[in-house]
Structure 1
Amino acid sequence: MPAETEPHERAWMAWPSAPYTLGETAAEAEEARTAWAAVANAISELEPISVVVDPSGRDEARRRLSSAVEQVDARLDDAWYRDIGPTFVVGTGADGQRSLGAVNWVFNGWGQQEWAIWDNDAHASGVATDLSGAVRIDSPMVNEGGGIHTDGLGTFLVTETVQLDPFRNPGWTKADVEAELVRTVGARKVIWLPRGLTRDSERFGTRGHVDIVATFTAPGRLLVHDQRDESHPDAAVTAEVVDLLSRETDADGRPLEVVRLPAPKTLVDDVGWVDYSYVNHFVLNGGVVACSFDDPVDAEAREVIADAYPGRSVVTVDARALFARGGGIHCITQQQPAVTPAVPTSPTNERGTP
């Protein structure tokens, strides 16, 4: 599995149409569609993007999405394509030719959540797999794209509460999970975080996805969510994660450099503790689409992200509507890596860079 920072052939998303994503009122539906469209349209400025659209959402998608966004009809239950879509990988044959693969995990509604519906989403990964022309790689493991992060060189981050969830993979051990990650995505070292953020571990969460906790920005370097306010329960969570990762090495024995990415000042919403996280951004050709929260920390976080990805433009999208529904920008996007080896370029001539 290449790093997200490597060149993309295109990005993939899905359009919101399920009641528990759109909400109960017209205003809530407007809020959701506006947020998804803002992310898709921002991506379309930098690289090709395909959005999978349930027939029930076709008219709204056509009205809101840029003409540069390719729309693909398919039945869906929800719109978190990072989790219901495939995880793309790249292989190199004996002749040196690179080929695209697509790992299709088992999806069961984030561990058989009682509110989730996944009859269609269980098959949604096949849409991008087939249209991309990738070699299909089926896995028996229940997993989601938001549950793994990689440096592209075989080092992976996971959480014990996701892959070892008894409602996902009953009876599986760490050794079982690691063996499957070796087989499917080329893992050489798996770093286990004990848990995810607090809100994400509650009723409408994923039980601890790593993609709002930590992400690789380059080999040996990580951005890690840093909750500075001790009154928030995530302060203890992130302190534990920072300590663990600061003592870890990658698959090549390189010590990990941990860069703290501050959490927003906002601590609660009308439900409880928030899990707003700037870590949940999407890196693409020449740029980064990052979260904002109309928060005093937005500007500082944007600077940290810009420093982490030199040469890439940073575009921010208000992600509060996404997090209110259980995720962020990274959660609704999925990258399809380019299989043609990229010609080395300077940051100023990457596609989409000013």
Structure 2
Amino acid sequence: MSWHMPAEGAPHERTWMAFPREGVTLGATDVEREAGYAAWAAVAHATADFEPVTMLVDPSELARARRMLSSEIEIIEAEVDEFWMRDHGPTCVTDGGTLGAVDWIFNGWGAPDWAQWQKSAAHARRIAEHVGAEVVPSLLVNEGGGIHVDGEGTVLLTDTVQLDPRRNPFADRERVEAEMARTLGATKAVWLPRGLTRDYDDLGTNGHVDIVATIPSPGRLLLHHQADPAHPDHAVTRELRAILSQETDAAGRTFEVVDLPAPATLTDAHGPVDWSYVNHLVVNGGVIACGFGEPEADARAAAILAEEYPGRRVVTVDAREIFARGGGIHCITQHQPAVTPTAQPIGGAR
């Protein structure tokens, strides 16, 4: 097989999610847990307005999920521990009319003491079996939030993720790039030296690209922009912009880098926030955007996303409770591309 990962803007068959369950990530109090459940449900319902959504639900949460989710959301019972579907679920690829499901090794973002991942690590194969996809096994420890592609051979990676010694102690860029070529059809890897500051905390991913940069269309790159010098990501994003503006994609084009400004909030009770509008989900005919309770900043981001994904309707969902748990809307969703050899993007083409 010659596998190829389509751009996220290509037509989808559905979006996959995992319903939260009690544990360290969800929260310690009833109020915190209820806020987490509600945030996941809100993203599922917003997405279901555009395309089918299937939710894996732990047996312990079935009653709650059925109560909180509309009948539009398909529920599949499966054991769940972590519920960040982008990271532990399959990365879907195609080969003509065949759907493939890349089954990365998932070790809870580097096997930190607090993480529980063994049950959710089985979801890639469970989903592949459910949809009749061919499993594409990989010995690389990787997560779906650690990669972004343009559908034309370019993949974005981060030194501190794929080369993390807690993930892949014996990897180097050459080995990682070879695996990206084998599993995703990527012919050009663009490496970021690091991610956002908060992402290096205990509950972070150590630099996932999907909170920093994405490729809305070939040759263009949306980059998180922190304009306030008081935030440590001001220096980080300035450095990344300088690097990425000199990079080329698989077709040899120099990226046109578009800044996606951060909201005004700089800190929370735990330090500098990593609130980022880059962590959006592209769906059939729409974009599910992160909102942060700042009308002006949220509207500005929605306008930029509407410009970058023409023909799509941008819907903003409050993502603060998701970010409080270590990620955003893109992190809790995983798209399944439609398998049609002649499929063309629905909106988003430039």
- Paired AA for residue 19 in structure 2: W
Of 45, 50, 58 in structure 1, the residue corresponding to residue 49 of structure 2 is: 45
Partner of 2:41, secondary structure, is helix
CA distance in 2 between counterparts of 1:114 and 1:61 reads 28
- Paired AA for residue 327 in structure 1: G
Contact 1:7 1:342 in 2 (8 A): no
- Give the aligned partner of residue 268 of structure 2: 269
Matches within 5 A, 1:194-213: 194-213=193-212
- Give the aligned partner of residue 40 of structure 2: 36
- Paired AA for residue 279 in structure 2: N
CA distance in 2 between counterparts of 1:159 and 1:201 reads 13
C-alpha deviation, 1:118, in angstroms: 1.3
- Paired AA for residue 44 in structure 1: A
C-alpha deviation, 1:345, in angstroms: 8.5
Pair 1:337–1:161, CA change in 2 (3 A):
same
Contact 1:21 1:32 in 2 (8 A): no
- Give the aligned partner of residue 131 of structure 2: 132
Matches within 5 A, 1:144-155: 144-155=143-154
**What percentage of aligned pairs have identical amino acids?**
58
- Paired AA for residue 42 in structure 1: A
- Give the aligned partner of residue 27 of structure 1: 31
CA distance in 2 between counterparts of 1:345 and 1:260 reads 23
Contact 2:10 2:345 in 1 (8 A): no
Matches within 5 A, 1:50-199: 50-92=54-96, 98-199=97-198
- Paired AA for residue 17 in structure 1: R
C-alpha deviation, 1:123, in angstroms: 1.1
Q: TM-score, normalised by structure 1?
A: 0.95
- Give the aligned partner of residue 17 of structure 2: 13
Matches within 5 A, 1:242-321: 242-295=241-294, 296-321=296-321
CA distance in 2 between counterparts of 1:135 and 1:287 reads 28
- Paired AA for residue 32 in structure 2: E
Aligned residues: 343
Partner of 1:235, secondary structure, is helix
C-alpha deviation, 1:140, in angstroms: 0.2
Query: Where in structure 2 are there 5+ consecutive unaligned residues?
Result: none
Partner of 2:17, secondary structure, is strand
C-alpha deviation, 1:128, in angstroms: 1.4
> What is the aligned-residue RMSD (CA, Å)?
1.3
CA distance in 2 between counterparts of 1:193 and 1:343 reads 30
Contact 1:112 1:167 in 2 (8 A): yes
Partner of 2:94, secondary structure, is strand
Matches within 5 A, 1:338-353: 338-341=338-341
Query: Where in structure 1 are there 5+ consecutive unaligned residues?
Result: 93-97, 348-354
Partner of 2:293, secondary structure, is coil
- Give the aligned partner of residue 326 of structure 2: 326
C-alpha deviation, 1:9, in angstroms: 0.6
C-alpha deviation, 1:18, in angstroms: 3.3
Residues 85-109 of structure 1 show CA distances to partners (whole Å, capped at 9, x for unaligned) of 00000112xxxxx210000000001
Pair 1:346–1:220, CA change in 2 (3 A):
closer
Residues 177-198 of structure 1 show CA distances to partners (whole Å, capped at 9, x for unaligned) of 0011111111100000000000
- Paired AA for residue 335 in structure 2: Q
Pair 1:345–1:318, CA change in 2 (3 A):
closer
Partner of 2:210, secondary structure, is helix
- Paired AA for residue 69 in structure 2: L
Residues 14-36 of structure 1 show CA distances to partners (whole Å, capped at 9, x for unaligned) of 00003123211111111001100
- Paired AA for residue 116 in structure 2: I
Residues 189-216 of structure 1 show CA distances to partners (whole Å, capped at 9, x for unaligned) of 0000000000011111000000000000
CA distance in 1 between counterparts of 2:197 and 2:126 reads 33
- Give the aligned partner of residue 351 of structure 1: none
**Divergent runs of 4+, >4 A:** 342-347
C-alpha deviation, 1:342, in angstroms: 5.1
Partner of 1:38, secondary structure, is helix
Q: TM-score, normalised by structure 2?
A: 0.96
